A and B are shown apart, each in its own frame.
Chain A
Amino acid sequence: MKIDHQKIEKDNVIEEYLLGKLPEDESLLFEEHMLYCADCREKCIKLERIIEAGGELAAERSELHNKKTRTLFLPVFLRVAAVLLIVCSIALLIFRIQQNKTPQNLYASDTVSAGNSNQSAETLVADTVARGPLPERNINPAGNDLLAESFIPSPVFESAVHDLYRSSGIENPVPADSSVVDFMKPVTFSWETRGNGNILFILRTNKGLIVRKEQGKPPLTFAPEKKGLYYWQLIADDEVVHTGRLLVK
């Protein structure tokens, strides 16, 4: 029998020798080979010390011998399924949050771009009633709002509607409160004033968004481009003097 480097490498002779697994005749041959081969001797010494050091470490921490427990002990396909489930759940959650936004919230989000990011919808509408119009903003006729949402009364404007004529000077506002008009049909807004003060006319959606804003004398005629509940306001000297309600079907 002959021993050469090819055999030593292929049959893992050094390891087998050190672990006492090499047959005796091969052990003797390998030992003789080592006497003349510095490389094999070096590898043998290194591996011998590695085995010894590994043994000492293992003995030091015997508990490491326990079967390795992974933090997530799942087969690959279950791990993939778990990731997909998490992604779907997050997507569903985002969708539900979008759906569950209240009209007030939508209003609030609309007005964020107008510069009042920290105010609630209620405060903003009340502000509008008290101080006058919000910055003008055109409503998108195609609108992404749900139709039903467009008919939800605004509590703030509703209270203003019941305060009709709270300021003197405006008489016979037309259309009358809670008038119902047809979609895309022109509506004529008119009123009478005792004085010659400038009156600002504002037509708002139920969410407070300005649809039309006119400074002029009555009558004013518009055709609302979207179905819904509208509020119209007349403002004199920065004070809301009349708030009317209009239903467009």
Chain B
Amino acid sequence: MFKRPVSFQMKEADNFDALLKGIRKGDSAIRKAITEHIGIILRTWCKRNKNEITWMMRKGKIETEFSLHTRVTDDLYSVLKDDKSEIKNYKHYQDFIIEKGNQYLADGYASFNKALIGASSLPWQLLEKTMWKYAVKWLADRNIFNREAIRELHYGALEVLFEKIKQQSLQFNQSSELKSYYFKILEFKWKEFIREKGKSHRYTDKIPELFYSTDESGAHPLTDKIREYIKQLEPDEQYILKAYYFFEKKLTEIAEDLELSPENCRVIKHRALRKLYDMIPANYSS
């Protein structure tokens, strides 16, 4: 089991006062801990509020979700360094994170929307990549698993979205609104697909080039590594992880698919996670 070096263990900061003291002393381990902690909170918060697209512009440069937490951490740090800071306990700390995160997301999203209307390729690529995952999941729930069909429906929906945004200069206040709009179009496309099943749709011919991502993965480096680790697992283990975490199937359903008992399924899932935990190097970067 991975153990941090003693110098990185935060035994001293087991309460908020100790944490503040460490920050004011300039303890790098505590700064790292706070950066990790804020990252987790903000990412979970974004997912919970269906803010899948995090987009920020800083000094004319585009930043994605990975820099949101470092930006909030910088702000928090500068406030906490001050002895007269109003952040006295964890509740204050948390409110500060959410408030700042919200503000950056709203600002970032406004610039993202503007870039979408302006038909810049980067925001469209980000949108294509983000929505692809949701489209796969959404269509899987409707028994469409064929990759080609998913591609046609997804790009068909994006094409309509592209035209609507460009012609009507549609504004969305946050990414969850944009997502809902996309799904309305996707649903329409899906119904059309079901109705005219058998006829050939070739939406892909009309997709603007700017939809295609130039960057293959675009994911966090650790996520990229873990994708490779997952591929090394047993087929049943891979299936369980994907079905449980991505398609949100219940373990009983997965057990039926694999002709296993739910208890066996639980054990396989646990074993797969343990293997992955052990594979992730000790000096991973959050």
| Residue positions of A touching B, CB distance < 8 A | 17-20, 27-28, 31-32, 34-36, 38, 41-59, 61-68, 70
Contacts and interface: CB of A to CB of B under 8 A. Distances in A.
A46 B276 contact: yes
8 contacts: A31-B41, A31-B94, A35-B19, A50-B273, A54-B241, A57-B227, A68-B239, A70-B259
B242 A65 contact: yes
**Central interface residue in A28, A34, A51, A54, by most chain B CB within 10 Å:** A54
B246 A59 contact: yes
A50 B276 contact: yes
Interface stretch (B4-12, B77-85, B119-127): B4-12
Nearest to B38: A35
Contacts of A59: 132-133, 136-137, 246
B230 interface: yes
A46 to B, nearest CB: 5
A57 B239 CA distance: 10
B33 interface: yes
B145 A66 contact: yes
A177 B33 CA distance: 112
A63 to B, nearest CB: 5
B44 interface: yes
Contacts of B257: 67-68
B286 interface: yes
**Which 6 interchain pairs have the tightest Cβ spacing?**
A53-B226, A58-B242, A58-B246, A55-B246, A59-B136, A53-B227
Contacts of B140: 62, 65
Interface stretch (B155-163, B183-191, B197-205, B216-224): B216-224
A41 B37 contact: yes
Contacts, number: 132
Given A20-B48, A34-B37, A54-B241, A62 B4 contact: no
Name B's interface SS: helix
Interface of B: 2, 4, 8-10, 13-16, 19, 33-34, 36-37, 39-41, 43-44, 47-48, 90, 93-94, 132-133, 136-137, 139-140, 145-147, 150, 217, 219-220, 222-224, 226-227, 229-231, 238-239, 241-243, 245-248, 257-259, 273, 276-277, 280, 284, 286
Contacts of B219: 52-53, 56
B59 to A, nearest CB: 28
A38 B226 contact: no
A76 B13 CA distance: 56
Contacts of B16: 35
Contacts of A49: 220, 222-223, 226, 280
A113 to B, nearest CB: 53
Contacts of A54: 230, 241-242, 245-246
A236 B239 CA distance: 85
Given A44-B40, A50-B226, 6 more contacts: A19-B245, A32-B94, A35-B37, A54-B242, A55-B246, A67-B257
B145 A63 contact: yes
A43 B47 CA distance: 19
Contacts of B222: 45, 49
B30 to A, nearest CB: 10
A43 B247 CA distance: 22
Contacts of B231: 57
Given A54-B246, A62-B147, A67-B257, A38 B40 contact: no
Contacts of B150: 62
Contacts of B246: 51, 54-55, 58-59
B40 A45 contact: yes
A101 B227 CA distance: 62
Q: Which of A18, A32, A56, A66 has the most CB of B within 10 A?
A: A56
A79 to B, nearest CB: 12
A61 B229 CA distance: 16
Contacts of B15: 36
Contacts of B136: 58-59, 62
A66 B239 CA distance: 10
B147 A63 contact: yes
